[in-house]
Chains A and B, each alone.
Chain A
Amino acid sequence: MSCAESFSAYAFRAIGYGDRLLPKSDISLCDQIFLIGSGMIWNVYFAVVAILFGFVFATALAFARVSGPPYLRWPAEVFVFIFRGSPLFIQFFFAYELFVQLPRVGVEIPMGFATLTASTSWLTKAWLGATVVLFLNTSAYSAEIFTGALKSIPRGDNEAADAFGMTGFKRFRRIVFPTMLRLAWPSYSNEAIFLFHSTALVFFSGFPAWRREADGLYYASYFAEATFNPFVPYPIIAAYFVFFTLLIVGFFGLVSKRLNRHLAEPPKVKFRIGSMLSR
C-alpha cells in the first residue's frame, strides 16, 4: 500500500472514516504514522473539552474553598482530596463500573427548536464518560493551583479595590480573577500538559474502544503487538506527544504574555514538567 493509500485508509480511522479493518500484515511505516496520528484526535478532544470545562469548575471550587460558606467549602475540600489523592487509572475503572450500573434513562434537553434526548448509557462510552472523569480530575488539580494563587494575592490589590469602592462582581472581574490567573498560570500550564498526557490512559482503563476507534496509544500498542517491534510505534506516538506538548507550551506562553502585558518585565512561564502535578 502506498503512503497516499494509507492516508486515505487510516488518517481519520479513529473517528470512523476509512478502512473498517486495522492493518494486519505488511504494516508499513505510513500505516503506523497515520493511524496513530488519527488516534491523537481523541487525545486532543479529551484534553480540550476537559480543560475548557475544568477551568470554569476549578475557579468555582477555588473560590468555594477560599471564601465560600462552610456548606460549600467542605464538599469542595473533599472533592479535591479524593481526586488528587487517588490514581486517575483507578478513577477511570471506578467511574466506568459506576456508569454501567446507572439505570438506563433518557434525559430530555429542550434545545429550542428540537429536544435532544441524552441517555445515561452515553456515560459508558469513552467520548462522554472518560471526558467526565478527566474533567473532574483536572478540576481538582486546577482548583488546588487556583486556591494557592487566591491565597497569595497581594493584600494591597484588595485594599486598592476597596479604596476605589469596587465590590462584588466588578472587583472579582477586574482585580481578583486576573491576579489569580497571573499567579497560577505557570503551574496551570503544567497541569494542562499533564492532563493531555493522561488522556492516553482512557482506553487502557475500563472504557472500551467501540469499533476499535480509539486514541493514539491504543493503536501504538496494537502495532507493537502486531509487529512484535516496539521500536517503531512507540517513538512515533512519543513524537506526537512531544509535538502537541510544545503546542500547549506555546499557547500558554501567549496567554501568559497577555496576562502580564501591563508589567514591565514579564516573568517567563516556567516550563517544568513534573514540578508539582501528576496523576
Chain B
Amino acid sequence: MFEFCVDPKAIEGLKWLSCYLTTPKHAAMYYSILTVLGLLAAAVPPILLLGFAGALARRSGFAPIRWIGLGYTSIVRGVPDIVFFLFFPIALDQAVEVIRHKIKCPDVVGSVYQGNDFVVCQAAKMPLGPSPQWVHEAWGFTLAVVTFAIVFGAFTANTLHGALAAVPRGQLETARAFGMTDRQTFWRVHLPQMWVYALPGLSNLWMILIKATPLLFLLGIKDIVYWAKELGGMKTQAYTYSHPDWRVWYFAALLVFYLLLTWVSQRVFDRVFARASRGMSVAR
C-alpha cells in the first residue's frame, strides 16, 4: 500500500501498524463488512414477503392455510435459530440436488442415501464441480439469504399478524360504512394503518437480524468472524507481519462494529417512530 511498507520487518510503531492494517488480507476483511451489509440488504425483501404471506395465511378464512401459517410461525419460533442455520443450508442444498438428479439422470436407479453417503450424479451437483470459485460463493450466499428469509420470515409474520389485529376496529367499520369492499378496506385502510403498530416489532427484528449475521460464519461464508479468526491467530517469524495471538483484539473490534451498527439503527428507528406516530395516540 504505502512505499515504506516494502520491508515490514525494518519498521515499527505506528508505521508498522499502518502497513499491517492495509495488507490485502485486511482489505478482504474490510470487504467482508460489505458481505454482512449485503446479506442484510438482500435478506430484507424476502423476509418481508414471507412475513407478509405468513401473516395473511394466519388470517385466511380457509382453515388448512391458517394451520400452515400457524405451524410455520410456531415451529420456527419454538426452536433456536441456530438449529435452522445449520439445517437449512444442507437441507436446501440436498433438496435442489435431488431434484436435479431426478431430472438430469433419470436412468440412475437407487436411493441417493447410500449408507452414510449422499450420492447424486455429477451433472446434478449444485453448483457444478468445475464452476469457478465465485459461483460456489454466490450459491452459498444464496442459501444463506434463503435461510435467513425462512427463519426471520416467521418472526415477521408474527409481528405483522399482531399489527393487523391491533388496528382499531372502528377504522375498519368506518371504511365499510363508506361503502368500501373488503378488498378496498384491506388495501386502503387496514394495511396502511397497520404499519404504525408493526414498526416497533419490526425495528426489534432488525436488531435481532443484525445480531444474527455473525452466524454466517457457521454457514461457511468468509464473513468478518472468519477473517477475525484467520488474521488474529498467532503469526510466526515466517510471516511478513509476525505477531502474537491477537484474536482478542480482533473480536473486540467486531464487538465495537456491531455496537455501532445497532446504535445507529436505534437512532434511525427513534426518528422514524417519532415521524410515524405524529398525531397518533399510540402507547409505546
Interfacial residues, chain A to chain B (CB-CB below 8 A): 25, 27, 81-82, 85-91, 93-94, 97-98, 100-101, 197-198, 200-201, 204, 217, 220-221, 224, 226-231, 234, 237-238, 241-242, 245, 272-276, 278-279
Q: Contact between A87 and B87 (Cβ–Cβ < 8 Å)?
A: no
Q: Contact between A217 and B78 (Cβ–Cβ < 8 Å)?
A: no
Q: Contact between B78 and A82 (Cβ–Cβ < 8 Å)?
A: no
Q: Is B213 interfacial (CB-CB < 8 Å)?
A: yes
Please count the residue pairs between chain A and chain B whose beta carbons lie under 8 angstroms apart in the complex: 128
Contacts of A273 in B (CB 8 A): 77-78, 158
Q: Is B262 interfacial (CB-CB < 8 Å)?
A: yes
Picked from B78, B118, B245, the residue with its CB within 8 Å of the CB of A245 is B78
Given A97-B247, A227-B116, A278-B208, check contact A217 B82 (CB 8 Å). yes
Q: Given the complex of chains A and B, what is the CA–CA distance between A198 and B83 in angstroms? A: 10
Could you give 15 example pairs across A and B, Cβ below 8 Å? Answer: A85-B259, A87-B258, A89-B225, A90-B225, A94-B248, A97-B248, A100-B248, A200-B82, A201-B80, A217-B82, A220-B86, A224-B87, A241-B80, A242-B78, A278-B208
Name the CB-closest residue of A to B244: A101
Label chain A's interface by main secondary structure: helix
Shortest C-beta distance, A40 to chain B (Å), equals: 12
Q: Contact between A204 and B254 (Cβ–Cβ < 8 Å)?
A: no
Q: Contact between A85 and B83 (Cβ–Cβ < 8 Å)?
A: no
Contacts of B116 in A (CB 8 A): 25, 27, 226-228
Q: Indicate the size class of the contact surface on chain B.
A: 35 or more
Q: Is B91 interfacial (CB-CB < 8 Å)?
A: yes
Q: Contact between A94 and B79 (Cβ–Cβ < 8 Å)?
A: no
Shortest C-beta distance, B137 to chain A (Å), equals: 21
Contacts of B204 in A (CB 8 A): 275-276
Given A87-B214, A272-B158, check contact A200 B80 (CB 8 Å). yes
The 4 closest A-B pairs by CB, nearest first: A197-B80, A228-B118, A97-B248, A94-B251
Q: Contact between A204 and B90 (Cβ–Cβ < 8 Å)?
A: no
A85-B259, A85-B263 are known contacts; what are 5 more A-B pairs with Cβ within 8 Å?
A85-B258, A85-B262, A94-B251, A198-B80, A273-B158
Contacts of A85 in B (CB 8 A): 258-259, 262-263
Interfacial residues, chain B to chain A (CB-CB below 8 A): 75, 77-83, 86-87, 90-91, 94, 113, 115-118, 154-155, 158-159, 201, 204-205, 208, 210-215, 217-218, 225, 228-229, 232, 245, 247-248, 251-252, 254-255, 258-259, 262-263
Label chain B's interface by main secondary structure: helix
Q: Given the complex of chains A and B, what is the CA–CA distance between A237 and B155 in angstroms? A: 20
Contacts of B205 in A (CB 8 A): 274
Q: Given the complex of chains A and B, what is the CA–CA distance between A273 and B229 in angstroms? A: 33
Q: Given the complex of chains A and B, what is the CA–CA distance between A226 and B201 in angstroms? A: 40
Q: Given the complex of chains A and B, what is the CA–CA distance between A91 and B86 in angstroms? A: 20
Name the CB-closest residue of A to B85: A204
Picked from A201, A230, A238, the residue with its CB within 8 Å of the CB of B90 is A230
Q: Contact between B90 and A88 (Cβ–Cβ < 8 Å)?
A: no
Q: Contact between B82 and A237 (Cβ–Cβ < 8 Å)?
A: no
Contacts of B263 in A (CB 8 A): 85
Name the CB-closest residue of B to A246: B78
Contacts of A242 in B (CB 8 A): 75, 78-79
Contacts of B210 in A (CB 8 A): 87
Given A220-B83, A234-B86, check contact A98 B248 (CB 8 Å). yes
Q: Contact between B87 and A241 (Cβ–Cβ < 8 Å)?
A: no
Q: Contact between A94 and B90 (Cβ–Cβ < 8 Å)?
A: no
Q: Given the complex of chains A and B, what is the CA–CA distance between A234 and B117 in angstroms? A: 17
Name the CB-closest residue of A to B78: A242
Shortest C-beta distance, A83 to chain B (Å), equals: 10
Contacts of B77 in A (CB 8 A): 273-274
